[in-house]
Structure 1
C-alpha cells in the first residue's frame, strides 16, 4: 500500500514506516496555525473596539464548546479507520470515512440551526453585557449558522490523517488561514473598494475561508477514498462500524471534556488568589502553549502510526512506537521549555511590565522544565492506548487524577495551604506524573494485546483483504 499522492505523498513509503517526525510536523504546524490565527483575529478586531473583541472571543468560546461534539465522531472514526487502513481493509476504511462524514454533516446542520435560532437565549444565559451584545449576536449568529463547515472540514482532515496523510490537512489549513487573513483586512477595515464591516466582516471572512477549506478537503478525501460520496447503505456492516466509532470515541470525548472543565475550575481558583497570580497563569499558559502543542502533534502522530501497525498485526512494533514517541517528545519539549526559560525575561516582557507578575512568572518558567516532559509522558502513552482501543482505562484513571490531584490538589496546596500559584503548579505536576505513570504501566503490561481490533483483522481471509484493497491515486 502506498501513501496518498499530492500533498500527502511521503516518498511512496508506507505511512506505517516513515519516521515519526514526518507524520508529526505537519500536525504541529496545523495546530500552530489555529493558535496564531485565533490570536490574529482577536488582535485585528480589537482595533475596531474592545466590545467587538470581547464579542468575538466570547462567541468563540461557545463555538469551541459546541465543536467538542465533533470530537466524539472524529476521534472514534480516526482510530477505527487507522486500524482498518493498516490491515489493508480499504473498503471498510472507506466505509468509516463515509459514515463519519455523514454523521458530522447531520450534527453540523442541527447545531447550526440551533445556534442561529437560539443565539439570544445562549447570550442571555451567559449574561453578556449590553454593550457587547449586538456584536456577539451578529458574530455568533453568522459563524454559528456555518457550524456545518467546521464539521465537514474536521471530519475530512481526521480521515486523511488516519490514512497517514498528515500533510494535506496542513496545506488546506495553511491556505484557509492565508485567505482568512486577507479577507479580514479587506472586510474588517475596508480595502480594495470594499466597505469596512467590522465584526460582520470577520464573520463573513470566517465563513468564506472555511467554505473553501471544505471544498478542497472533500476533494482530497475523494482522491484518498474513491467512491466515498456514493450512497451509503445502512446495513449490518454499517451498524457495526457505527458501534465501533461510538465505542472508541465516547471515552476520548469524555476525557477531553473533563480536562476543559478542570481548566475552568483552575482559572476560578486562581482568580480567587488575586489579579497578579491570574495574570501570571494566563500569560504562562499562552507562552508554554508552544511546547505543549508540539507534544500534542507527536501524540496524534503516534496514535496514527500505532493504529495502522496494530491493524496490520505488527504488535511488537506498535509497542515500541509508543516509547520512541515519548523519547522524541521529551527531547523536543524539553528543548523548547529550556529555550523559553533562557529567554524568559524578554518573553514575559512582551506581555507585562508589572514587577510582581514578572517575578511570579520567573519561578513558573523553572517549573515547566519538569512539567513539559511529564505532559509528554501522559500524552504519548495515553494516545497509544487510545490507538489500540484500550480507552476506558486511561479515561477513567485520568479523570480521577485530574479532579482529585489536579483540581483538588490545587485547592489544597494553593488555597488552603496558602502556597498560591506555586502550589497550584505543584498539584498539576503531581497530576501529570500520576496520569503518565498509570498510562505507562498499562502500556508496559501489554494488556491491550489480542483485543477485538486485532482479532477482527485475523479473522479476515487473505482473499478478503486482497479484494478489499485499492491503489491510492498517483
Structure 2
C-alpha cells in the first residue's frame, strides 16, 4: 500500500499527543479548580462532587461502548484509505450515543436521591448530592455528545480541535464557578448548585463548538440529510470492537465506584481524602495518558494501513517516553503534595492520611502507565476482548474484592485499599505485555493483506488465483 507522507506527519506520536495533553491538562485543571473552589463551601461538598463524578464516570461507559469502538474503526478506516466509511461510522456513533445520553439524563433528573442512597452515601451528604446529581446528571446527554464528537474528530488526526474546545470550556466554567460560589459581579451566591449549573452550561457551549468542527472534519462535509445514514455492517464493526471496550471501561469505573462506596462506609474523612488524592494523581499520569491515547490513534492508523511492524514498535516508544515522566511526576508529588493539599483543606486528619497515600502513589503510577500504553495498543488492533477479560477478573477479584476484605472487613482502611489497587495494575500490566509480544492480531492482519495482494495480482495478470 502506498504511503502518504503528509498523512504520516499528521499521525506522528508528538503531533497527536501534545494537543491531547493540553486538552487533558485543561480537564484536569477544571477538576482541580472545581475541587479548590468547592472546598471553600465545605469538605462535605467536596465529598459529594467526588462521589457524584464517580457515578457519572460509571454511567458514561454505557455510551463509551459506541464512542470508543467508533474512534478505533475511524482511525483504521482512514489508515486503509476508506474515508467515506469512516464518515458514516462517525455519524452513526453520534446518533447512538446521543440517544443513550438522553435516557441517562431523564433517569438522573428523576431519581437522584434513591441512586445516592443505593450507593451508600452518608446520610449527611444526601441533600447536597440530590441537587448536584440531578443538575449535572441531567446534562448527561451533553457528556455523551461531547465524548463521541471529540473521539471522532481526534481519531481523524485532528487533536487540536478538541483541545481548543477544552480551552474555551475551561475558561467559561472557571469564570462561572467564581461568580456562583462567591456571588461575584452581582451573580447569586448559589454554592454547590451554582457549580452544577456552571458545569452544564460550559458543556453545552463545548458541544456546539465540537458539532461545528465535526460537520467539516471529513473531506466531504456532513450535512443535515447525512444524519439519516445507517450502515448495519459498519455499525457491527463498531460494536465488535466497542462492546468489550465498554465492558472494560465499565469494569474499571464501577470497581472505582464500589471502592468509593467502601470508603463511604469507612467515613466521610476517607471519602474526602480519596477525592483529593484523585485530583493529585491526575497530575502524575496526565502526560503519560496523553501519549498512550495518541499511540492508540497512531497504532490503529498503522494497523489499518497494513504497517504492522511499525504498529508493533510504536507502543515501546510510548513506554520509553511515558514511564520516566510518570515516575518523575509521582516523585515530585511526594515532595510537594502535602503543601498542595493545604490549599484544599486544613483538616489535619485528611492531610495526614493523604501524606501516606502519596508514597503508595509512587508505586501505583508506573503500573498504570504500562496498562494505559499496552492496553490501548491491544485495543487499537481490535484485541479488545482480551483486555476486557483480564479487567473483569483482576479488577473485581484483586482491586475490589480484596479492598473490601482487607480495607473494610479486616479494618485496615484506605492504605490496604491502595495496596490492592497497586497489585491489580501490575498484574494486568504483565499480562498485557506478554499478549502484545505474541502479535496475534498483527499476524492476522499480515495474512489478510497477503491474501488481498495475491488476489489483486491474480486479477491484474488475468490468471486465476489458486486457493487451498
Following superposition, the deviation at residue 84 of structure 1 comes to: 0.5
Residues in 2 aligned to 1:132 and 1:419: alpha-carbon distance in whole angstroms: 24
TM-score by length of 2: 0.82
Following superposition, the deviation at residue 170 of structure 1 comes to: 1.1
Residues in 2 aligned to 1:187 and 1:275: alpha-carbon distance in whole angstroms: 25
Residues in 2 aligned to 1:357 and 1:56: alpha-carbon distance in whole angstroms: 17
How big is each residue's C-alpha offset from its partner over 1:34-77, in whole Å with a ceiling of 9 and x where there is no partner?
23323433443555577766665555444333322221111111
Does 2:221 correspond to 1:227? Answer: yes
Q: Which of these residues, 226, 249, 272, is aligned with residue 242 of structure 2?
A: 249
- SS of the residue corresponding to residue 224 of structure 1 reads coil
Structure 1's 37 and 284: CA in aligned 2 closer, same or farther, altered over 3 A?
A: closer
Following superposition, the deviation at residue 295 of structure 1 comes to: 2.5
- SS of the residue corresponding to residue 227 of structure 1 reads coil
- Which of 59-68 and 295-304 deviates more? 59-68
Q: Which of these residues, 51, 57, 68, is aligned with residue 75 of structure 1?
A: 68
* 1:45-444 → structure 2 map (5 Å cutoff): 45=38, 47=40, 59-119=52-112, 121-122=114-115, 125=118, 136-225=129-218, 226-229=220-223, 230-232=225-227, 238-267=231-260, 283-344=276-337, 346-347=339-340, 350=343, 364-410=357-403, 423-444=416-437
Structure that is richer in helix per residue: 2
Structure 2: any 5+ residue segments left out of the alignment? Answer: 457-468
Is contact 1:310-1:454 (8 Å) kept?
no
Residues in 2 aligned to 1:358 and 1:304: alpha-carbon distance in whole angstroms: 39
Structure 1's 348 and 139: CA in aligned 2 closer, same or farther, altered over 3 A?
A: closer
- SS of the residue corresponding to residue 329 of structure 1 reads helix
- Which of 126-135 and 99-108 deviates more? 126-135
- SS of the residue corresponding to residue 241 of structure 1 reads helix
Residues in 2 aligned to 1:162 and 1:209: alpha-carbon distance in whole angstroms: 24
Residues in 1 aligned to 2:116 and 2:57: alpha-carbon distance in whole angstroms: 15
Following superposition, the deviation at residue 123 of structure 1 comes to: 5.3
Following superposition, the deviation at residue 406 of structure 1 comes to: 2.9
Structure 1: any 5+ residue segments left out of the alignment? Answer: 4-10, 463-474
- SS of the residue corresponding to residue 8 of structure 2 reads coil
Is contact 1:389-1:453 (8 Å) kept?
no
Number of equivalences: 452
Residues in 2 aligned to 1:285 and 1:101: alpha-carbon distance in whole angstroms: 30
Following superposition, the deviation at residue 384 of structure 1 comes to: 0.2
